[in-house]
Amino acid sequence: MSNFVSAEQLSALQSSGAPVRVIDVRWRLDRPDGHAEYLGGHIPGAVYVPLATELATHGEASEGRHPLPSTLTLQDAARRWGVRRGDLVIAYDDAKGLSASRAWWLLRQAGVEVRVLDGGLRAWIAAGLPLATDDVRVDAGDVVLAEIGGDAISIDEAAAFPENGILLDVRAPERYRGEHEPLDPVAGHIPGAVNLPMAAHLDPEGRILDMHTLQATFAKVGVTEGTPVAAYCGSGITAAHTALVLDEVGIAAKVFPGSWSQWSNTPGRPVATGDRPA
């Protein structure tokens, strides 16, 4: 079964009365609080999710910008969203699925059935479906989450990963090469990491590409079925999207949630630059 649903499929699920909980994970680096945009228009019934406090936590710089929340924090959040045992959660955003993927990655580990809206809010609008402007409040859910964190790797595991697998750096090429670093104190990449920007998996409208194209893209950097693979980005958000796409083609992946924000803030960690892994 696909990790994605189309706008039409989501609309049909809502109309059928199926136990579906829709969450709006509006977040961007330049606009981390997406509540105002949510109030400007969202999928009817969708509950707004503040990524920075419910899908992440605050910590020291040496932990990265978006450390994982505790399982209890995530469970409390999911109950606030109204998620009940057996519900299907569908996450969406307005940023090509980047922040919605963070919700998918965490909730899937926690044992929740979860999907991502292919194409996000743009696809919903393009399908001619209605928007709402209310601030949705729902009755608390009763979902019980399994322990999260099993699909994450530590900074030391990330350092050693290229020895026996493929460590994907999914940031833009100029950040990987060390030519431009707008957020972190050091420019470059983890030695041994291979660059594969997340944009390679999407069409211009932000929808996922076909299976054959995705498989070919991963194969070009050495990732095929059975290859140990992990992904990192700037702060652990975008890397979850690559994990989502890899899962879609049948390849299990780990995520380094601290990502470059943790690596570059940890004294003594080596840095590679240029377009080659080492």
CA atoms of 29 and 42, how far apart (whole Å) = 20
The reported pLDDT for the residue numbered 80 is 98
Q: Which pLDDT does position 60 carry in this prediction? A: 85
Which pLDDT does position 278 carry in this prediction?
A: 84
Active-site residue, selected from the candidate residues 90, 233, 237, 243: 233
Both tokens of 115, joined, read 């999907």
Cα torsion 74, 78, 80, 86: sign: negative
Q: In what order do the strands lie in the sheet with 166-169?
A: 194-195, 166-169, 229-232, 254-255
Q: What pLDDT sits at residue 166?
A: 98
Bridge pairing between strands 113-117 and 229-232:
unpaired
Q: What is the pLDDT of residue 30?
A: 83
Whether the Cβ atoms of residue 207 and residue 181 lie closer than 8 Å to each other = no
Active site (annotated) includes residue 197:
no
> pTM score, two decimals?
0.96
pLDDT at 32 (0 to 100): 87
In tens digits, the chain (278 residues) has pLDDT values of 899 999 999 999 999 999 999 999 999 888 889 999 999 999 999 999 999 999 999 888 889 999 999 999 999 999 999 999 999 999 999 999 999 999 999 999 999 999 999 999 999 999 999 999 999 999 999 999 999 999 999 999 999 999 999 999 999 999 999 999 999 999 999 999 999 999 999 999 999 999 999 999 999 999 999 999 999 999 999 999 999 999 999 999 999 999 999 999 999 999 999 999 98
pLDDT at 24: 98
As a three-state string, the secondary structure of 214-266 is HHHHHHHCCCCCCCCEEEECCCCCHHHHHHHHHHHCCCCCEECCCHHHHHCCC
**Token pair of 182, please?**
């707008």
